[in-house]
Amino acid sequence: MGSRAGALMALFPRRPLVWALQGPREAEGIAEWLRRRVGSSATQLEDEEGAQALIDSQDVVVIGFFQDLQDEDVATFLALAQDALDMTFGFTDRPKLFQKFSLTKDTVVLFKKFDEGRADFPVDEELGLDQGDLSRFLLIHSMRLVTEFNSKTSPKIFGARILNHLLLFVNQTLSPHRELLAGFGEAAPPFRGQVLFVVVDVAADNDHVLQYFGLKAEEAPTLRFINVETTKKYAVTDGTPITAASVTAFCHSVLDGKLKPYLKSQDIPPDWDQQPVKILVGKNFEQVVFDETKNVFVKFYAPWCTHCKEMAPAWEALAEKYKDHEDIIIAKLDATANELEAFTIHGFPTLKYFPAGQGRKVIEYKSTRDLETFSKFLDSGGELPVEEP
């Protein structure tokens, strides 16, 4: 996956679209979306009793404290409230409520029944209330310091616009694994807004997440770090105990650029070179394709790709045709299970030719996918001859 979108689809391929992207799709969401446009998007609060009742009504409640309700900042606040369907909003100008919540200036306060309990967003006296900045603040602080990955939380995880994610893979059915959550959570507060701390239960329906990181359930407990924009992944050293100190050190080593990304790879099959089409994986790719004595033609495919399956017979026939040519190798690599340092595969199938000789020359094949054209390409040393008119 070479893009943020690709990473998100791989991590949670079945997640529904959320309103932040396109609009609510469930009946309940559509009804709430309409209600906030026909009526008020926030409740006006007049006294302490009403304010406390609103705060107690939901796990997350946002209240705007404004000294002048005619101010443009109030309109900005209410406009944001129209679209933030997963939060409950209120607003007030009452001095007694400012006093009750220890406020002296215009402030948006997020009240929550977890973690710190409250997060304040003071309104800039000169610049006013920026809707984008407030939206990001609410997304970040409405999330728990540690979030378990599932179908309900994934929209928030990916909607928080925090690119760095730290994932703890555990088996929640095992007591020793559950005991690790305390240390993991202890490390989280200093990284709020910079790194999302996420727990992935390998005993739940999270096989797609394990596959994306090249992990097996039995490898838990373990840590992985990913930047969802670059899709670079980082692994903790095998055998490292998962404690608050080790989690903190791991985060800093990645953020400070002291740790190299890891590339997932399948194991090299014992018979990888026994058939006409050679099987490449991340671990043997460079050794094979950059052999100066070989011309290597590689198909990068995905097991689910229809086009890849359609061209498979032609690829097998090509390998059979050239199997006795010592300087030509026809190979394939599952690009969903193996990552490469040299480049990222964005589409399937992708065909690349690595000619013999010094250097690391790569030629991408973009012509007809049939035996005849493949053969002409190979016989011409990685070029398609110009046909006579």
> pLDDT at residue 56 above 90?
yes
Of 156 and 353, more confident? 353
* pLDDT recorded at residue 26: 57
Mean pLDDT of the chain: 89
- pLDDT tens digits, one per residue of 187-211: 999 999 999 999 999 999 999 999 8
Contact 282, 264 (CB under 8 A): yes
CB atoms near residue 20 (< 10 Å): 18
* pLDDT recorded at residue 207: 92
> pLDDT at residue 38 above 70?
no
Q: Distances in Å between the alpha carbon of 221 and those of 218, 248, 263?
A: 8, 16, 19
Q: Which residue spans within 176-216 are E strands per DSSP? A: 195-201
* pLDDT recorded at residue 29: 56
Q: Which residue spans within 17-163 are E strands per DSSP? A: 43-44, 60-65, 88-92, 107-112, 118-122, 146-148
* pLDDT recorded at residue 31: 54
> pLDDT at residue 131 above 50?
yes
> pLDDT at residue 4 above 80?
no
Listed as own residue / partner, the contacts of 67-73 with beta carbons closer than 8 Å and 24 or more positions apart are 67/93, 67/98, 67/106, 68/93, 69/93, 71/106, 72/128, 73/106, 73/123, 73/128, 73/129
The percentage of residues in the chain with a pLDDT greater than 70, rounded to a whole number, is 88
CATH, domain 277-379, list 3.30.70.270, 3.40.30.10, 3.40.50.2300, 3.40.120.10: 3.40.30.10
Contact 147, 153 (CB under 8 A): yes
> pLDDT at residue 48 above 80?
yes
**DSSP state letter for 165:** E
Q: For the chain, how far is it from start to end, CA to CA, in angstroms?
A: 41
Interacting residues of 67 by C-beta distance below 8 A, sequence separation 6+: 93, 98, 106
Most confident of 32-41, 60-69, 375-384: 60-69
Q: Distance between CA 281 and CA 267 in Å, rounded?
A: 7
- At 49, the pLDDT band (50, 70, 90 cuts) reads very high
Task: Classify domain 40-141 by CATH number.
Answer: 3.40.30.10
Consecutive H or E run containing 384: none
Peptide bond into 385 cis (omega under 30): no
Contact 353, 296 (CB under 8 A): yes
- In which residue ranges of the chain is CATH 3.40.30.10 found? 40-141, 146-255, 277-379
* pLDDT recorded at residue 159: 79
Q: Distance between CA 181 and CA 227 in Å, rounded?
A: 22
- At 17, the pLDDT band (50, 70, 90 cuts) reads very low
Of 154-163, 174-183, 278-287, give the lowest mean pLDDT range: 154-163
* pLDDT recorded at residue 385: 62
The first and second tokens of residue 53, run together, are 């009742």
Of 58-62, 156-160, 209-213, give the lowest mean pLDDT range: 156-160
- At 12, the pLDDT band (50, 70, 90 cuts) reads very low
Listed as own residue / partner, the contacts of 257-264 with beta carbons closer than 8 Å and 24 or more positions apart are 259/234, 260/234, 261/232, 261/233, 261/234, 262/233, 262/234, 262/235, 263/338, 263/339, 263/340, 263/341, 264/213, 264/214, 264/233, 264/337, 264/338, 264/339
* pLDDT recorded at residue 23: 41
- pLDDT tens digits, one per residue of 71-88: 999 999 999 998 877 789
CB atoms near residue 223 (< 10 Å): 20
Give the residue-averaged pLDDT of 31-52: 77
Residue at 226: amino acid letter: I
> pLDDT at residue 18 above 70?
no
- At 5, the pLDDT band (50, 70, 90 cuts) reads very low
- pLDDT tens digits, one per residue of 271-319: 999 999 999 999 999 999 999 999 999 999 999 999 999 999 999 999 9
Sequential DSSP letters for 268-286:
PPTTTTSSSEEEE-TTTHH
- At 15, the pLDDT band (50, 70, 90 cuts) reads very low
> pLDDT at residue 9 above 60?
no
- At 386, the pLDDT band (50, 70, 90 cuts) reads low
Give the residue-averaged pLDDT of 173-183: 97
Consecutive H or E run containing 331: strand 328-334
The first and second tokens of residue 17, run together, are 């679209």
Domain 146-255 top-level CATH class? alpha beta
Of 120 and 41, more confident? 120
- At 27, the pLDDT band (50, 70, 90 cuts) reads low
Parallel, antiparallel or unpaired: strands 328-334 and 295-301 = parallel
Chain Cα centroid distance, residue 315: 33
- At 214, the pLDDT band (50, 70, 90 cuts) reads confident
Give the residue-averaged pLDDT of 214-235: 93
